[in-house]
Structure 1
Amino acid sequence: MRDALDSQLNERGLSPEAFSELMIRLLDRGVLCRDESQREAELYDRYLQVSELVEDYLSVLRIRVLHEPRFSLLRIFPPGAEVPGLADTDDSLSSGLRERLSQQEVALILVLRAEYDQALREGQIDEFGQVMLSLEALNLSCRNLLGRSLPEQQGERKALLRRLRQLRLIRSPSDAALDEGEAWLTIRPGIISLVTDSALAQLASAPTDDNDDLPAEDSH
């Protein structure tokens, strides 16, 4: 199997070491977004070069790949995960690849998806499929949808936004900028591939008093 893989990589002009580096980064982060950094751009372009080999390799592990060329975004999902845009599977395996998100993270991701959908309906999307939102507006939306605000402690709030940046769901100012008056963040289109329509509908229909019981979602 290794010899066959090396042969196919050689045909595509990619070394086994470069392929290994791509797979390790993808399995470690779970997402690649070309416009995130020069490094991610290099790895994303490398994926395009050997996309079928990457997907074949991951399929052995029952890991599914969601590629959104419009946004130059690549995200992987562990076995059994519900993936918007991909057919459901009967795979019920629990997986060490799953990482439990906190209830705060789940709640904020759902609110961001609701804000993204509203901006989409109103045509407030830029040419890159992104939505600008002030931190004040996000805080208000959290109160309206969840019955609670963003964390009051700056350290906790910064950690929450930092986690969503790692998932490539938002762009936000540096931690220092968050201390200076009104801050804005950008909701990235990858939010659609992480939050299902059914989860969004559940948020819309649930009384705010019940939202403390939001289940922790699986990430990758």
Structure 2
Amino acid sequence: MLEELLNNVLAKLNLSLADFSELINRLLDYGVINRDESAVEAQLYDRYLSCSELVEDYLNVIGIRLMHDAQFLSLRAFPPSAEVPGLIDDIHRPFNGGMRYRPNQQEVACILVLRVEYEKAVREGKVDDKGCVLLAFEALSMSMTNLLKRSLPENISERKNLFTRLRQLRLIHFSSDDMLEGDEEYWLSIQPSIVNFVSSDALTNLYPSEEQNSLNQASEDGHVL
């Protein structure tokens, strides 16, 4: 019966159940869709726009909330119990983490440093028209050392896992895997979605005098969201 009702609604929107399922599965699998990422994600994002209320109602049934950043053409799904920047928390939400991905300490440290660098670029007006910020690999490495007294992984496979995961989360973008080899001439692009990934409260704690202590504590605790 539910499938029949869904088909009836989708028919009015000129969408098939297969198209709708593909969009939902992509959101549940990746957790994020960015229109500028690829032709596939552009198609899925445009499909969302044609049935946004249905998608949000459908996901809401299982406690998943969706944040739509219309300015930077991105969607991010937040599972039950996740804190969603800019949205009022549900006081009845469960206490467990459920399906939420919990970054490891290395990922947390890198994400926090990327967020700091993004904020600096915003203040200096170094943001492109898509809300992205270019950061040299060398600058990221130096910031990790200066802010956290940490180094990026020296092991190539560990470094690849770190940056691949951050790219999967749509927090960064880089055009060549050669960067993972440690060539300091390469640049990465910090995506505007990082603003929704790291809460404002977390960022506030990074400035000014207690910057290093706050970053160290956050990375040790594994708190990003």
Give the TM-score category using the shorter length: over 0.9
SS in 1 for 2:177: coil
Q: Which has the higher contact order (CA 8 A, sep 6+)?
A: 1
- Out of 180, 185, 199, the residue aligned to residue 182 of structure 1 is 185
- Deviation sequence 1:128-177 (CA, Å, 0-9, x none): 11100001101111112111121122222222111100000111242234
Against the structure 1 CA distance between its residues 210 and 165, is the aligned structure 2 distance closer, same or farther, given a 3 Å change threshold?
A: closer
Gaps of 5+ in 2: none
* Matching of residue 115 in structure 1 with residue 121 in structure 2: no
Equivalent in the alignment of 1:141: 143
SS in 2 for 1:185: strand
Equivalent in the alignment of 2:66: 65
Gaps of 5+ in 1: none
Against the structure 1 CA distance between its residues 118 and 181, is the aligned structure 2 distance closer, same or farther, given a 3 Å change threshold?
A: closer
C-alpha displacement at 1:186, in angstroms? Answer: 0.4
**Identity between Structure 1 and Structure 2 (%):** 51
Equivalent in the alignment of 1:216: 222
- Out of 131, 134, 140, the residue aligned to residue 132 of structure 1 is 134
Equivalent in the alignment of 1:161: 163
Between Structure 1 and Structure 2, how many residues are aligned?
Answer: 219
C-alpha displacement at 1:197, in angstroms? Answer: 1.3
Structure-2 separation of matches of 1:158 and 1:95: 26
C-alpha displacement at 1:216, in angstroms? Answer: 2.4
| 1:9-88 equivalences in 2 (<5 Å) | 9-88=10-89
* TM-score, normalization by structure 1: 0.92
Equivalent in the alignment of 1:100: 102
C-alpha displacement at 1:52, in angstroms? Answer: 0.4
Answer whether contact 2:137 2:184 (CA < 8 A) is retained. no
Against the structure 1 CA distance between its residues 26 and 218, is the aligned structure 2 distance closer, same or farther, given a 3 Å change threshold?
A: farther
Answer whether contact 2:205 2:214 (CA < 8 A) is retained. no
Against the structure 1 CA distance between its residues 207 and 122, is the aligned structure 2 distance closer, same or farther, given a 3 Å change threshold?
A: closer
SS in 1 for 2:68: strand
C-alpha displacement at 1:29, in angstroms? Answer: 0.5
C-alpha displacement at 1:82, in angstroms? Answer: 1.3
- Deviation sequence 1:175-218 (CA, Å, 0-9, x none): 23443451110001000010001112334435449716532247
Structure-2 separation of matches of 1:40 and 1:160: 22
SS in 1 for 2:151: coil
- Deviation sequence 1:54-106 (CA, Å, 0-9, x none): 00001111111100011110001011211112122211342432122111111
Structure-1 separation of matches of 2:82 and 2:203: 16
Structure-2 separation of matches of 1:177 and 1:161: 9
Against the structure 1 CA distance between its residues 122 and 17, is the aligned structure 2 distance closer, same or farther, given a 3 Å change threshold?
A: same
Structure-1 separation of matches of 2:149 and 2:175: 25
